Amino acid sequence: MKSMLDPKASKMTDKPVRPDPNHNAPYEAWPGVSAAPHCYYLDFDEGYQLCSDGWLMFDTTDPWIELTGQTEVRYPCVLTTEQLESIRHYPGVAKVTQFGDDEWLRERKVRWHPEQNNGKGHGYLVYFADEHYTVGEHLAKIGLTFEGVWKMSRTRDYNPSKLVTEEQLRIIHSDPKVLMIEETTGGTFC
């Protein structure tokens, strides 16, 4: 990880970093066959984070990674083969790790944003890795129902309800097409 005392790392920017062919973040594939073959975690060097304009959020051309002084937590994303190769050349990306097996998927944790908690409780937002996956297909696969959820919706995410148990979260995470679950009180945007 780069130290914030490093002169190259101490200048904060409001512009995205550009790919550097000399930067090649290590890649760790899941040993054997992955239950979620196009899902990856990105780890970041100190002081770097993704911003909301990046293609990892909105499918734009390039990732929007900035040197802001805040370090992005381990970030789950879906990458094509081309994107996987490309993202490794962006300064600030420390490592790319492929998701694992079914047991590992069930043990994933909710992505919390305690620094943005407004004290009014929290809800959940479930993100899908496949934008063509319906909420109904997902619920049928995991065997759960949530009141007020439109099952025919083809969306990248859905809000199950505020009354979700730890066991239900574990079951939701068991679906390999679930990219992540995060609380809805905020986000890690620049």
User: Can you give the residue ranges of every domain in the chain?
Assistant: 7-100, 114-183
CA distance 106 to 10: 39
Alpha helices in the chain (DSSP H): 7-10, 55-58, 81-87, 102-106, 135-142, 166-173
Residue 2 has pLDDT above 60, yes or no: no
Q: 28: which strand partners?
A: 97
The lowest-confidence range among 6-10, 73-77, 114-118, 165-169 is: 6-10
Residue 24 has pLDDT above 80, yes or no: yes
Q: Which residue has the higher pLDDT, 149 or 152?
A: 149
Q: Considering the chain, what is the average pLDDT of its residues?
A: 82
Residue 117 has pLDDT above 80, yes or no: no
Between strands 65-67 and 48-50, the pairing is antiparallel
How sure is the predictor about 119, in pLDDT bands with cuts at 50, 70 and 90? low
Q: What three-state secondary structure class fits 98?
A: strand
Closest CA to 88 of 26, 11, 172: 26
CA distance 148 to 150: 6
- pTM comes to 0.76
